[in-house]
Amino acid sequence: MNEYMNPFTVFMLSVTGAAIGAYAGSYLREKGKNLATHEDIDRVVRATEDIKAQVSGELSVKQKRWDFKQHCYSELAENFGEQAAALQETRALLEERALLENAPGEVARLNKEAVTKQVWAKNEAVQTATQQIRRLGSKVRIAVAPEVRTLLSDVGDRWNSVDRALPHIDQVIIKRDIAYNAWIAIMEAARRDLFGEEDKS
């Protein structure tokens, strides 16, 4: 072989080198794009996960608040409902006892005693519901709508202002109306506050 390469060999080596260079450049450029794409995807995935965690945390807090608020409304409605029902039953028992008041005989006296015991039991149920409502009053004021806080104050004022000089049955009727109206108002307020329902009255 001679010391010089013939032009064809030089040309072929140049073409081969250029092809290898072009291929290697293209290959490396594609690898670089893939690497950049993977890095971009990793950044997007991390950002997405961060957003998901933040949204999940916020939803969890909102759900806990809603659960607490729902529990408060539920407890209030249940206790006012129990109070109103016990007062209604007390009223019926007091009317029955009034009918037995002047009835003659041992059977009437025994029935009157039985009715009186039932009245005491209903009075205890009313007192239990009243105490529960008072205990709830502090807790629920944290969560319920302002109108319910005002309602609770108004109900307490009206309840406490019932004239104790009135006959027992009249006191029961007034307190039953107070409890019943509070029960209805709380149920309506809960539907509006918890579920966004419009007032249908």
* Domains of the chain, residue spans: 7-46, 63-195
Q: Which pLDDT score is estimated for 160?
A: 93
Name the pTM for this structure: 0.70
- Stretches where the chain sits below pLDDT 70 are 1-5, 199-201
- How far is Cα 180 from Cα 189, in angstroms, rounded to an integer? 14
Residue range 68-84, pLDDT digits in tens: 999 999 999 999 999 99
Q: Which pLDDT score is estimated for 138?
A: 82
Question: Among candidates 114, 108, 42, 84, which has minimal Cα distance to 174?
Answer: 84
Q: Which residue has the tokens 């539907």?
A: 191
Q: Which pLDDT score is estimated for 37?
A: 77
- Distance from the Cα of residue 24 to its chain's centroid: 64
- For residue 98 the two structure tokens come to 């009034």
Q: Which pLDDT score is estimated for 4?
A: 65
Q: Which 8-state DSSP code applies to residue 4?
A: S
Q: Which pLDDT score is estimated for 76?
A: 93
Residue range 52-70, pLDDT digits in tens: 777 777 788 888 888 999 9
Q: How far is residue 87 from each of residues 94, 110, 143, 181, measured CA to CA in Å?
A: 10, 23, 28, 13
- For residue 28 the two structure tokens come to 């490396």
C-beta of residue 149 within 8 angstroms of C-beta of residue 186? no
The set of residues, in sequence order, having a beta carbon less than 8 Å from that of 149 and lying 6+ positions away, is 141
